[in-house]
C-alpha cells in the first residue's frame, strides 16, 4: 500500500513539474513572439507606416520600398506554441496581424514593380527627342501615376487594419504573459 501511495505522489509531483517546465517554455516563446511583433512593427512604422498615414492617395509618391530578409522567424518557428495561448481572440489577432503583415509585404513588392515601370518610363521620356514619343510616354506615365495612387490607397487601408490588429495582438500577448507569470 505504501508503494502505491509513494508512486502516486511521485507521479503527481512529476506531472506538476512537467506542467511548470512547459509553462516556462510557452511563456518564453510568447515573450519572444511579442518582442518580434513589436520590433517589426516599430521598424515598419518608422520606415513606411508614418508616410502611409500622412500621405493621401492623391499625393502618393512613386517610391521604392526596400523589402529584404526574413521578418517573422520567431513567429514561424513557434507556431506550435500559438495554440497554447488561452485567449482565442488573442490567437486570432496574432495570426491575422502576421497574415496582414505578409500581405503588406506582397503589396510593397507590387508597388515596387509600379515604381520600376514609372522610373523606366520617365528615363525613356527624358531621353526622347521625338515629340510624338514624348507625348505617348507622358500618357503612359500618367496612367502609372494613377495606378500608384489607387494602389497606395489599398495599401493605406491594409496598413490601418494591420496597425489596429497588431495592437490588439500585442495587448493580448501581454495579458497572456502576465497570466503565465502568475502560474
Question: What pLDDT sits at residue 93?
Answer: 97
Could you tell me if 40 and 67 are in contact, meaning their C-beta atoms sit under 8 angstroms apart? no
Task: Examine the pLDDT at 8 and tell me if it is beyond 90.
Answer: no
Q: Give 143-147's long-range contacts (Cβ < 8 A, gap of 24+).
A: 144/62, 144/114, 144/117, 144/118, 145/62, 145/118, 147/114
The predicted pLDDT at position 48 comes to 94
**More confident: 3 or 22:** 22
C-alpha grid cell, residue 20: 511548470
CA 113 to chain centre: 20
pLDDT band at 16 (very low <50, low <70, confident <90, very high): confident
Residue 174 has pLDDT above 90, yes or no: yes
Exposed, middle or buried: residue 125 (CB in 10 Å: 0-12, 13-18, 19+)?
A: middle
Average pLDDT (66-86) is 91
Cβ-based neighbours of 72, under 8 Å, separated by 6 or more: 36, 40, 98, 101, 102
Query: Is the pLDDT at 102 greater than 90, yes or no?
Result: yes
Q: What band does 183 get if pLDDT is binned at 50, 70 and 90?
A: confident
C-alpha cell belonging to residue 161: 487594419
pTM, rounded to two decimals: 0.86
Q: Are 121 and 35 in contact (CB under 8 A)?
A: no
Q: End-to-end alpha-carbon separation of the chain, Å?
A: 33
Q: Distance between CA atoms of 183 and 179, rounded to whole angstroms?
A: 7
Residue 82 has pLDDT above 90, yes or no: yes
Query: Among the residues of the chain, which ranges form H helices?
Result: 2-44, 50-54, 73-77, 79-82, 88-127, 131-181
Dist CA 50 CA 108 (whole Å): 15
The mean pLDDT of the chain is 93
Amino acid at each position: 500500500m505504501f508503494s502505491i501511495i509513494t508512486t502516486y505522489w511521485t507521479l503527481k509531483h512529476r506531472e506538476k513539474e512537467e506542467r511548470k517546465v512547459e509553462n516556462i517554455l510557452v511563456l518564453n516563446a510568447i515573450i519572444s513572439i511579442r518582442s518580434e511583433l513589436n520590433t517589426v512593427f516599430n521598424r515598419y512604422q518608422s520606415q513606411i507606416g508614418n508616410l502611409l498615414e500622412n500621405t493621401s492617395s492623391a499625393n502618393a509618391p512613386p517610391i521604392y520600398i526596400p523589402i529584404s530578409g526574413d521578418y517573422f522567424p520567431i513567429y514561424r518557428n513557434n507556431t506550435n506554441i500559438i495554440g497554447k495561448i488561452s485567449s482565442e481572440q488573442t490567437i486570432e489577432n496574432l495570426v491575422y496581424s502576421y497574415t496582414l503583415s505578409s500581405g503588406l509585404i506582397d503589396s510593397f513588392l507590387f508597388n515596387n514593380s509600379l515604381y520600376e515601370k514609372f522610373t523606366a518610363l520617365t528615363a525613356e521620356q527624358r531621353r526622347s527627342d521625338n515629340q510624338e514619343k514624348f507625348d505617348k510616354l507622358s500618357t503612359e506615365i500618367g496612367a502609372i501615376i494613377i495606378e500608384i495612387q489607387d494602389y497606395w490607397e489599398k495599401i493605406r487601408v491594409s496598413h490601418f487594419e494591420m496597425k489596429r490588429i497588431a495592437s490588439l495582438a500585442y495587448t493580448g500577448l501581454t495579458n497572456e504573459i502576465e497570466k503565465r507569470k502568475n502560474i
